[in-house]
Structure 1
Amino acid sequence: MIRPVAASAIAPSARPARRSLPVAKSWLLALLLLGGCANLTALGGLSATEQTSLDNRLALALRYIEAGNRDMANIHLRKAAEIAPQAAELHHAYALLYQMEGDSELAGQFFQRALQARPDYTLAHYNYGALHYRRGDVAAARSHMLIASGDLASERRPQALYILGLCEHQLGDRSAALAAYQRAVQLAPQLAPAYLAAAQVLFEQRQWQPALAQLQRYEQLAAPTASSLWLEVQLAALLDEPDLFASASMALRNLFPNSPQTESLRQRFGAERAVLQESSDVQ
């Protein structure tokens, strides 16, 4: 694999060894839309021609990054670096390029450079926060998502609110998590994962009927997962809905026979159990 070479003016002085990390395939990465040139801003000291050229180079680089074409993305980033080597948007684009390669260490360095050059760069906060979340640094992710979700003009605000909710949930604040999820779906009613996340919080708060309503909204928008079906099984048992219990448990066993959730179904209710009984051990 040919690695992209940053322009010398922005390359790290002591470049760390690359790590061969697989690029995560998850719902979270699906939220990391690159954004194109909509977030580019005029830079002081550039002529109108230079600014237009910079915007075009960065927009093309982002498109190639989104398409997974490292070589072409790097060509346009080097051209952009010749125009404005310290531009926040350039650092951000390099961060996305390294992130696409699976090099989270270098990606983090360039996200930091982007935010040093422009502290109010919402898209950089969003993407850097998502990187922190995938690394498991939930507190750092929360701090960036608070900033990203506070930008009323950001196209990524619903997604930022959703990830903020995930952070709040993992940090133990269910009320804040639920508020973030609810705000996210108000802004983006088709954001399916937020309904499932809200259903989980409501379930943990023992609000069975509202949890089922959120789960059913999720099911209208997205394919079932092992987690969503297992949650539906438990809610059906708690609400004494035998038909829903039977259909959800059958779907869980058929679609995800080897999942931990299916094993939990067998342990909790038995492989073919049809009689419902509320469990005092809600998980």
Structure 2
Amino acid sequence: MPRDASLPPLAAGVFAMLLAGCASDGGARPASGGRSPGGTVKEAGSAKTEAARVNTELGQKYMAQGKLELALEKLTRALQNDPRYVDAHTVIAVLYETINEQALAEEHYRRATQLKPKSGSEANNYGAYLCKIGRYDEAATYFERAITDPFYQTPVVALTNAGTCAIKGGKFDAAERDLKLALDRGPDNAEALFQMAMVLYRKDDFFRARAFIQRYESLGQPSPESLLLGRNIELRLGNADAATDYTRRLRQNFPESEQARSLDAPSSS
């Protein structure tokens, strides 16, 4: 399920704001013998935030290299530097999820949303995590929060996640609604096209499901999942030749996939 922070580069805009804050704190000082109220505290806070930023960036780089122990060390240090640094909570949540420390992963995803309660990105990330562990109704509330953030730059991601999660929760009408909204905003969103085909298949709307799987394929991104779904749609429509073609392509292009192996099971439709 797409997330905004499953190891992306940390937002350049966030870094720019932090650096700008450091620059402003380092401005003119009062004449000798005077001190601005709280000035030292502000400067110390900016230094700690900058240290958190640097350690978060290092932790993320170590994660990308597969050096997870070093990554955890840097990210833990980042949160020691500044416990309110949201990017550190997000990235360490991804790390804990990777090493199957699920309670800690949830703690940090949730903390990120608490620190930035109106942020679509953090809400989407937590929603995606909740969906992964099967808490579909809770996930839906966070996807809704993400979608309603007017400053969220990728609402299509949250809408697609909301639709995908609704399918898992058996709420097909809600899934179709969210995926339609995602496709209204991004007609070539491959994941939304595939998931729309899936939900329509689950709703026994096979002709429309075929149309969406064909749109997905027109993007040139066949996958084992899409080929199996296309095969099953054609079987339901009684088109044996098209189903056979999907079967051939699945076996030929993805012979070791779970989907190809499923063709040998007693029932794969």
The question of a shared fold, defined as TM-score above 0.5 by the shorter chain, is answered with yes
Quote the residue 1:120 is aligned against. Answer: 118
CA deviation profile, 1:194-243 (whole Å, cap 9, x unmatched): 21110122223343332112101222342331x43333233334445454
Q: Aligned partners of 2:65 and 2:185: how far apart in 1?
A: 28
Quote the residue 1:36 is aligned against. Answer: 10
Q: CA deviation at 1:78?
A: 4.7
Q: Aligned partners of 1:237 and 1:78: how far apart in 2?
A: 53
Q: What amino acid is the match of 1:179? A: R
Q: Aligned partners of 2:98 and 2:110: how far apart in 1?
A: 17
Equivalent residue of 2:84, what SS? coil
Quote the residue 2:107 is aligned against. Answer: 109
Q: Aligned partners of 2:6 and 2:139: how far apart in 1?
A: 14
Quote the residue 1:192 is aligned against. Answer: 190
- Structure 2, unmatched stretches of 5+, are 22-37
Q: Does 1:139 align with 2:140?
A: no
Q: CA deviation at 1:101?
A: 2.1
Q: CA deviation at 1:178?
A: 1.4
Q: Once superposed, what is the RMSD of the aligned Cα atoms?
A: 3.5
Of Structure 1 and Structure 2, which has the larger fraction of its residues in helix? 2
Q: Does 1:224 align with 2:198?
A: no
Query: Which segment is superposed worse, 248-257 or 176-185?
Result: 248-257
Equivalent residue of 1:36, what SS? coil
CA deviation profile, 1:21-55 (whole Å, cap 9, x unmatched): xxxxxx66898343513473658964495254443
Written as runs of structure 1 = structure 2, the 5 A alignment for 1:21-32 is 32=6
What is the percent sequence identity of the aligned residues?
23
Q: CA deviation at 1:151?
A: 2.6
Query: Residue 116 of structure 2 contacts residue 122 of structure 2 at CA under 8 Å; is this kept in 1?
Result: no
Q: What amino acid is the match of 1:137? A: R
Query: Residue 130 of structure 1 contacts residue 163 of structure 1 at CA under 8 Å; is this kept in 2?
Result: yes
Quote the residue 1:247 is aligned against. Answer: 245
Q: CA deviation at 1:163?
A: 1.5
Query: Residue 36 of structure 1 contacts residue 63 of structure 1 at CA under 8 Å; is this kept in 2?
Result: no
Q: What amino acid is the match of 1:36? A: L
Q: Aligned partners of 2:186 and 2:71: how far apart in 1?
A: 30
Equivalent residue of 1:102, what SS? coil
Quote the residue 1:62 is aligned against. Answer: 60
Equivalent residue of 1:85, what SS? coil
Q: Aligned partners of 1:130 and 1:241: how far apart in 2?
A: 36
Q: Aligned partners of 2:222 and 2:81: how far apart in 1?
A: 46
CA deviation profile, 1:5-34 (whole Å, cap 9, x unmatched): xxxxxxxxxxxxxxxxxxxxxx66898343
Query: Which segment is superposed worse, 190-199 or 112-121?
Result: 112-121
Counterpart of 1:213 (choices 211, 214, 226) is 211
Using the size of structure 1 for normalisation, the TM-score is 0.68
Query: Residue 230 of structure 1 contacts residue 261 of structure 1 at CA under 8 Å; is this kept in 2?
Result: no
Query: Residue 52 of structure 2 contacts residue 88 of structure 2 at CA under 8 Å; is this kept in 1?
Result: no
Query: Which segment is superposed worse, 71-80 or 117-126?
Result: 71-80
Size of the aligned set, in residue pairs, is 241
Q: CA deviation at 1:177?
A: 0.8
CA deviation profile, 1:239-272 (whole Å, cap 9, x unmatched): 45454233123334554587574146x658xxxx
- Displacement over 6 Å in runs of 4+: none
Q: Does 1:96 align with 2:94?
A: yes
Using the size of structure 2 for normalisation, the TM-score is 0.71
